[in-house]
Amino acid sequence: MDSCCENKAGELAQLRGAQARVLYWVLGINGSMFLIESLAGWLIGSTALLADSLDMFGDATVYALTLYALDRSGRTRAGAALIKGLFMLVFGLAVIAQAIHKSLWGTVPEAGAMGIAGIVALAANAVCFVMLLRYRSADLNMRSTWICSRNDLIANTSVVLAAVAVAITDTLWPDVIVGLAIAALFLHSAWQISTEAIVEWRRTGAEAFEGTAPSQQETAAGSCCESKTSCCD
């Protein structure tokens, strides 16, 4: 019995440790790319790049929250996921405001530099996406993190396509349109993650109230630790 439960708890600890290592890596990558893209977007006046850099900053915050909640209760992880959804909402609205400003008073961004920055960001996020792929179904906390990484790939690809369109048309509208599309993606993901987080928050709250919420070790051990007579037969 004890050996069975200890083995399961040990497996959970190893899983959490592997998740933490991946999260530290993607946190570092996204933090670095936020600095690079925000500087490039500001220098060349690209709404799409600035939107993507805000996405990077938001993701770095998301990964930090995921790390914080990794070894905590299901209710804490649900709360962290809800905060991530709120971050996505705020960033989506900020990008919309910036796109409106750009459409009224903006200038045509430098397409070459915009495209290069977009390609570098796409490569960086492809690495993050692959690293997070195996954990996309682990729990709501990791799932919301993977959704952020998936959104990054879509946003980065859109920035590269916008750079090509800007070069062809010599207008700012492809840049503005892609910025708005990225904002729409933020808002959709914010709704998706927040809805799931609220459901999980209520469920874990009800379990805690009834005194039935399982601990981390009990969850890891599963049915093996529920029966003293059948465990490790």
Whether 51 shows a pLDDT value over 60: the answer reads yes
Whole-number percent of the chain with pLDDT over 70: 79
**Which tokens in the block code for residue 30?**
């996204």
pTM for this entry? 0.66
The pLDDT value given to residue 23: 84
Whole-number percent of the chain with pLDDT over 90: 11
Architecture of 2-215 per CATH?
Up-down Bundle (1.20)
Is residue 14 very low, low, confident or very high in pLDDT (cuts 50, 70, 90)? low
For residue range 148-186, list pLDDT tens digits in order: 778 788 888 988 999 999 999 999 899 999 888 888 887
Report whether 57 contacts 65 (CB < 8 A). Answer: no
